[in-house]
Amino acid sequence: MSDTNKKTVLSCIQPTGDMHLGNYFGAVKNWVDLQSDYDCVYGVVDYHAMTMPYDVKKLRSNTWELITNLVAVGVKPENLFVQSLVPEHAELCWIFNCFCGIGELGRMTQFKDKSKKNEEEQSNKFISAGLLDYPVLQTADILIYKADYVPVGKDQEQHLELSRNIAGRFNHQVGQEYFVLPEGLYTETPKIMSTADPMRKMSKSAGEKHYISVFSDSKRIEKQIKSAVTDTGEVSEKMSAGVQNLFMILKASGDTISHDQLMDTYRDGNLRYGDLKVAVAESVVKMTDDFKVRRAEISADKKQLKSQIKASSADIRRKAQETIREVKDLVGLLNVRF
Ligand code: ADP
């Protein structure tokens, strides 16, 4: 972040471990691309990762792992910050809690879904207040940088609306249009399905065979693609979900020439699924090989990455501190500098 003429885009991701093709094509690649047109602020949101049951021994290493992976695929380190290194997010969250109704939070479908999942999967059925409050912290993540745009998928639309409501209520209460209401940035991103079961989304939570990790070795990637489910035996005029998914991965990974040729063959009724799988595997392996090389370089000098992230978080934090100072003034809190 720095170019004042550009609009600010804010986006965050939770450090929950491995990065798969769904995360990359569905979210992270977009982050990389947006960097040329916008001032981008990207958060690795470790406070958010605490809202669901998690392993305290893994959170820190997952955070570094995700940062390494993001930089390896092309996110600029100067655009990245770690949420807990900018504690003003939590401070603004508290202030916003006082501008948000309990009822509004209870209506969030993501809260309903996740708390149901917790109830079903956990013996103690624990649902944290953090999970309920998550969208308020998200509002703070966005507004603390006065972001103009937030890239959103359908699942986050309701949260963005809540952010706009909180910002509006805040502005009304303090008697000025202090916060700009953030807008969604609706970029076309593909939804990648599991190659083992193309009716369900590629996802870590569905288990190992349901996702292809961007950083796993080429042999495994090839094996997973070559054993992809193509059709279920039903004769249909329509392209099956599995074949559609393979075509989508082929295009997204950059081999548009093979994509178009194989699509023509499909239309002529002559496509051999084996050929499609070979093309997809080659294209994905080629793309991920570059990422792996970059990741190895970064991992060889972890100290450098750590100091870069410390510096970028400190830099980004200055903006957050400025907002907090102004907000405290506006809401009537003491604003003493120690
Ligand atoms: P997972 O479900 O594997 O745990 P997350 O829920 O942590 O993944 O998602 C992180 C980001 O990746 C989100 O922006 C989400 O929309 C995107 N994403 C996850 N899975 C897919 C997928 N299969 N296709 C497209 N985007 C995805």
pLDDT per residue over 16-70, tens digit each? 878 999 999 999 999 999 999 999 999 999 999 999 999 999 999 999 999 999 9
Atom of ligand 1 nearest to the CA of 20: 3
Q: How far apart are CA 338 and CA 325, in angstroms?
A: 13
The CA angle 166-168-170, to the nearest 5 degrees, is: 65
The answer, yes or no, to whether any atom of ligand 1 lies below 6 A from the CB of 205, is: yes
- Quick check: 76 and 42 in contact, CB under 8 A? no
26 Cα: distance to centroid of ligand 1 (angstroms):
7
Active-site positions read 114, 201, 204
Burial zone of 167 (CB within 10 Å; 0-12 exposed, 13-18 middle, 19+ buried): buried
> What pTM, to 2 d.p., does this model score?
0.93
Task: Determine whether the shortest distance from the Cβ of 27 to ligand 1 is under 6 A.
Answer: yes
In sequence order, what E strands does 157-238 have? 183-185
What is the residue-level pLDDT of the chain in tens, covering all 338 positions?
566 689 999 999 999 878 999 999 999 999 999 999 999 999 999 999 999 999 999 999 999 999 999 999 999 999 999 999 999 999 999 999 999 999 999 999 999 999 998 888 877 788 999 999 999 999 999 999 999 999 987 778 999 999 999 999 999 999 999 999 999 999 888 999 999 999 999 999 888 999 999 999 999 999 999 999 998 666 667 899 999 999 999 999 999 999 999 999 999 999 999 999 999 999 999 999 999 999 999 999 999 999 999 999 999 999 999 999 999 999 999 988 88
- Tell me the CA distances in angstroms from 265 to 15, 247, 262, 273, 280, one per residue in order: 41, 12, 5, 11, 15
Which residue minimizes the CA distance to atom 11 of ligand 1?
Answer: 23
CA–centroid distance, residue 143 to ligand 1 (Å):
23
b/e sequence 207-229, b meaning 16+ C-beta within 10 Å:
eeebbbbbbbeeeebbebbeebb
Task: State if residue 192 touches ligand 1 by the CB under 6 angstroms criterion.
Answer: yes
Ramachandran angles phi, psi of 203, nearest 5°:
-160, 145
Ligand 1 contacts CB of residue 203 (under 6 A) = yes
Question: What are the φ/ψ torsions at residue 101 (nearest 5 degrees)?
Answer: -85, 145
Q: How many angstroms is it from 203 CA to the middle of ligand 1?
A: 7
Q: Which segments of 100-254 are extended strands (E)? A: 149-151, 183-185
- What is the tens place of the pLDDT at every residue in 250-292? 999 999 999 999 999 999 999 999 999 999 999 999 999 999 9
Q: Return the pLDDT at 121.
A: 83
Task: Give the H/E segment covering residue 82.
Answer: strand 80-82
Verify whether ligand 1 is closer than 6 Å to residue 248 (CB atom). no
